[in-house]
Every structure is written in C-alpha cells, then in structure tokens.
Amino acid sequence: ANASDWVGKRKFTGASSLEEAHGLAEAELSMLGGESEGPVQRLNPVLTGLKETLNSLQTPASVASDYDNAGEMLEVLSVKAEQLYCDQTSLIANQNLLEILRTQAAIRMAQVYVQSASMRTESRGLHQRSDFTDIDNEQLHHNLIFADGTNAILALRKGPSGNWILPPSAAV
C-alpha cells in the first residue's frame, strides 16, 4: 500500500518531460497553422530563395561581397522560414511540418556554409576567391561555426604516414 501511494503521488520526470514536449509541439504546430495577419508564408518561395542564394555562390571565383550578400539573404529567408504556414495539423506523419523543419535546417546549414567560406581568405581546391587568389598554408584547418554564430579553428597536421590527422588537443 505504501509503494502504490508513493507511485500514485510521484510525477516521474520522463513522463512529465514527454508530456511537456508534446504540449510544446502541439502549441508550435498550432502557431504554424493558426490565424495570421495578412497573407501566409508558403514553403516554395522560401525554397526558391534558398536555391537562388546558394546558386549565386557557384561562380568561378567569389569575393567578400558575394558572401555578405548571401548572408543577408539567408537571414531574410531564416525569418521567413520561421513564419511558414503549416496546412496539416496532425502530429503524426505530417509531411508539411517535416518539409518546414527540413527547410529551416537547410537555411541554418547554408548560413554556416557562407560564414565558414567567408572566413577562408584564400583559394584552395574548389574554394576559389578572386579577392584572395593564393593558397595560404596558415589556413589549412577546419573552420568551426557554433549554434550561437561564434566560430573557432580546428587545426590539422600530418601524421607519420602522411595522412592528415587532428592534433591531440582536438581529439577530446
């Protein structure tokens, strides 16, 4: 009797977390498909804008202003992507919601790509810049971009076999 009383009064963290997440998901979904002021934001124009922005960087050699322009356009698209209208209201097999989430993720990835490419002030391999035409061996590293927009560098070095490896401090 004591154990059943205790269990009956106990709110388990796993269940409560799941209930809370479900409530948040329902609230977010209702916001995506709820009433809006003015015309609703549809998926196709956002996807088209993303494609055009990324295609604009596929020139033989980019310059800093290309990355700046792409970054600004991606910021606009990011705002629009957060306002996308979801026609379906189900939490189960909701293809419209899935495409919205994929588009939002693709825009975030494109923003990271543009930020990382703009940090690299050299030309190497497929990354060609007309404002920095030479290879700079000091930039033989990975550019890391964090979720908050900050960045860092992950150095590389060659091992005894001639293969590139991460330095011991980065392998943590």
pLDDT tens profile 3-12: 767 666 766 6
Q: What is the CATH number of the domain that holds 30?
A: 1.20.58.100
Q: What span, in angstroms and rounded, lies between the C-alpha atoms of 144 and 146?
A: 6
Residue 42 lies in a domain: yes
| β partners of residue 152 | 144
Residue 72 lies in a domain: yes
| pLDDT tens-digit map of 49-101 | 999 999 998 877 789 999 999 999 999 999 999 888 888 877 788 898 899 99
- Residue 128 buriedness (CB in 10 A; 0-12 / 13-18 / 19+): middle
Residue 93 lies in a domain: yes
Residue 20 lies in a domain: yes
pTM above 0.75, yes or no: no
Residue 172 lies in a domain: no
Residue 25 lies in a domain: yes
Residue 30 lies in a domain: yes
Q: Which residues contact 149 (CB under 8 A, 6 or more apart)?
A: 115
Q: Which residues contact 97 (CB under 8 A, 6 or more apart)?
A: 29, 32, 86, 88
Residue 121 lies in a domain: yes
Q: How many domains does the chain have?
A: 1
Provide the residue range defining the domain that includes 83.
Answer: 13-139
